[in-house]
């Protein structure tokens, strides 16, 4: 083929193509960056707390089940944050003089709850319910990020409506079961942390979750996602309806 355009023209063409493609994209990005930057929503930023409570230490290194502290997570809308008595089952004996436990001791002495700063929240006009998600086998990490790695708790996701809908529109992509296990969907949620505590081998999806990524089903396994959805009785027809989350 004869060379019609010289190298200079080529460069100009490349530059304008690049500019044409990148500028509108960059504008879009700055626009959305303003509303969803990590600064604005504090995603992945550990939040100051009255005591340096570590999930990594308690849930993985010590292997304490999430439900020991978040007692209502399977049965109700709220997961709940533990009372000082729960901490005292151990801390009346362990590390009783540690300055890091000052807030815990003070709470006990004055009989006032520790005022933990809230890490995650949705606005009041949004209805959310933990129990149904846990019953359907959706991992805590899918929404909260790598809790197992958190020394000080941070927010794994900003909980925007569009994010909730990504799953509500295609839950088959997020259904997951360890093929080698016959635990109920609910127990599978907690099995991940037990495996981490025991140092057991993780499946690919479990590895993803433990790293704080979402539990997306590999594309070639989506048929399994549909199967699990049927088995678990996921009612997908109403999941996108406004009233499900706004009532």
Q: How far is the CB of 182 from ligand HEC (least distance, A)?
A: 20
Residues paired with 155 in a beta bridge = 43
- Select the span of 10-18, 22-30, 48-56, 176-184 touching ligand HEC (CB under 6 A): 48-56
Contacts of 155 (CB under 8 A, 6+ apart): 41, 42, 43, 44, 45, 47, 119, 120, 144, 145
Nearer to ligand HEC by Cβ, of 11 and 78: the residue is: 78
Q: Check residue 140 for interaction with ligand HEC (CB under 6 A).
A: yes
Q: Which H or E element spans position 215?
A: none
Q: Are 214 and 200 in contact (CB under 8 A)?
A: no
Residues 70-109 that bind ligand HEC (CB under 6 A): 70, 73, 78-82, 86-87, 89-91, 94-95, 98, 100-101, 104
Q: Check residue 66 for interaction with ligand HEC (CB under 6 A).
A: yes
Among positions 172, 188, 189, 212, the unique one binding ligand HEC when judged by CB under 6 A: 189
What is the token pair recorded at 210? 């433990």
Residues 108-127 that bind ligand HEC (CB under 6 A): 116, 118-123, 126-127
What is the token pair recorded at 173? 């992509």
Q: How many CB atoms lie within 10 A of CB 187?
A: 13
Nearer to ligand HEC by Cβ, of 100 and 230: the residue is: 100
- Select the span of 20-28, 64-72, 199-207, 220-228 touching ligand HEC (CB under 6 A): 64-72
* Helices 102-110 + 84-91 axis angle, to 10: 120
Q: Check residue 129 for interaction with ligand HEC (CB under 6 A).
A: yes
- Select the span of 3-11, 161-169, 198-206, 219-227 touching ligand HEC (CB under 6 A): 161-169
Residues 196-225 that bind ligand HEC (CB under 6 A): none
Contacts of 12 (CB under 8 A, 6+ apart): none
Contacts of 215 (CB under 8 A, 6+ apart): 138, 139, 141, 142, 174, 176, 205, 208, 209
Nearer to ligand HEC by Cβ, of 3 and 238: the residue is: 238
Nearer to ligand HEC by Cβ, of 136 and 212: the residue is: 136
């Amino acid at each position: 083929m004869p060379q019609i355009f010289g190298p200079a023209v080529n460069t100009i063409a490349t530059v304008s193509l690049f500019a044409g493609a990148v500028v509108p994209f960059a504008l879009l990005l700055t626009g959305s960056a303003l509303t969803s930057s990590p600064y604005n929503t504090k995603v992945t930023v550990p939040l100051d707390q009255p005591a340096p409570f570590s999930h990594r230490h308690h849930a993985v290194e010590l292997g304490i089940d999430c439900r020991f502290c978040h007692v209502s997570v399977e049965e109700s809308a709220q997961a709940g944050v533990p009372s000082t008595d729960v901490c005292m089952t151990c801390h009346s004996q362990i590390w009783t003089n540690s300055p890091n436990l000052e807030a815990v001791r003070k709470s006990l002495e004055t009989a006032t709850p520790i005022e933990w700063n809230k890490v995650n929240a949705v606005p009041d006009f949004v209805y959310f319910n933990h129990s149904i998600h846990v019953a359907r086998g959706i991992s805590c990490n899918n929404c909260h990020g790598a809790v197992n790695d958190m020394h000080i708790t941070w927010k794994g996701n900003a909980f925007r409506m569009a994010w909730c809908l990504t799953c509500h529109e295609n839950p088959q992509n997020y259904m997951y079961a360890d093929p080698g296990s016959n635990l109920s969907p609910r127990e599978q949620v907690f099995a991940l942390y037990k495996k981490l505590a025991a140092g057991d081998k993780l499946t690919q999806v479990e590895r993803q979750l433990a790293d704080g990524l979402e539990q997306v089903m590999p594309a070639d396994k989506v048929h399994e996602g549909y199967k699990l959805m049927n088995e678990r009785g996921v009612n997908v027809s109403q999941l996108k309806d406004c009233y499900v989350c706004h009532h």
